[in-house]
Homo-oligomer: A and B are copies of this chain.
Amino acid sequence: MAVEIERKFLVVSNDWKNAVVESKVCRQGYLVTDPKKSVRVRVIGDQGFLTVKGATDGFSRMEFEYEIDLADANYMLMLCDWVVEKTRHYIEHDGLTWELDVFEGLNAGLVMAEVELESVTQHFDKPAWAGEEVSEDARYFNGYLSKHPFSRW
């Protein structure tokens, strides 16, 4: 079990593109997603993950993540009612790794970046390309986006 603490922002310019360290194609689906918990299947690069998350409490959330066989993960994606497709770019900024997601498919047009912190009070420098914070806006949870894609807002 881990407590996931993250801050999430809409991306307002393309100035991040020169700072990308690594990029991975990501497909993630939800076996269930409701306000109390979610079960996510993720294929990112050549790895598969099964993740159970509890309810969000401000910036933090209980998270249980297990790496699973890639073939299992691909099969389980077919059991998911909703799948989100995106490319995840990893960016180093001020000593922290930011994950910047360029959404595709029905969520195309949405670009978000998040940074994982050790504590809710940890200082971090917000990059210039990061705009409005949406950490606590449930519309920007991937689980919500899977059911209510950005293109239909």
The residues of A with any CB-CB pair to B shorter than 8 Å are 1, 31-32, 36-37, 39, 50, 52, 54, 62, 64, 66, 68-69, 71-72, 75-76, 79, 81
CA distance A72 to B75 in the complex (A): 24
Give every chain B residue within 8 A of A64 (Cβ-Cβ): 50, 68, 72, 75-76
Give every chain B residue within 8 A of A52 (Cβ-Cβ): 31, 39, 50, 76, 79
Give every chain B residue within 8 A of A76 (Cβ-Cβ): 52, 64
Which residue of B39, B71, B72 contacts A31 across the interface (Cβ within 8 Å)? B39
Q: How many copies does the complex hold?
A: 2
Closest to A38 in B: B31
Least Cβ–Cβ distance between A34 and chain B, in angstroms:
9
Report which residue of A52, A54, A72 has the largest number of chain B beta carbons within 10 angstroms of its beta carbon: A52
Least Cβ–Cβ distance between A75 and chain B, in angstroms:
6
Q: When the two chains form their complex, are residues B72 and A54 in contact, meaning their CB atoms are under 8 A apart? A: no
Least Cβ–Cβ distance between A140 and chain B, in angstroms:
22
Least Cβ–Cβ distance between A53 and chain B, in angstroms:
9
Give every chain B residue within 8 A of A62 (Cβ-Cβ): 75
CA distance A54 to B41 in the complex (A): 14
Known: A31-B32, A37-B79. A1 touches B50 (CB 8 A): no
Interface pairs (15), CB distance under 8 Å: A1-B71, A1-B75, A31-B37, A31-B39, A32-B32, A32-B39, A36-B79, A39-B39, A39-B52, A50-B50, A50-B52, A50-B64, A54-B79, A64-B68, A66-B68
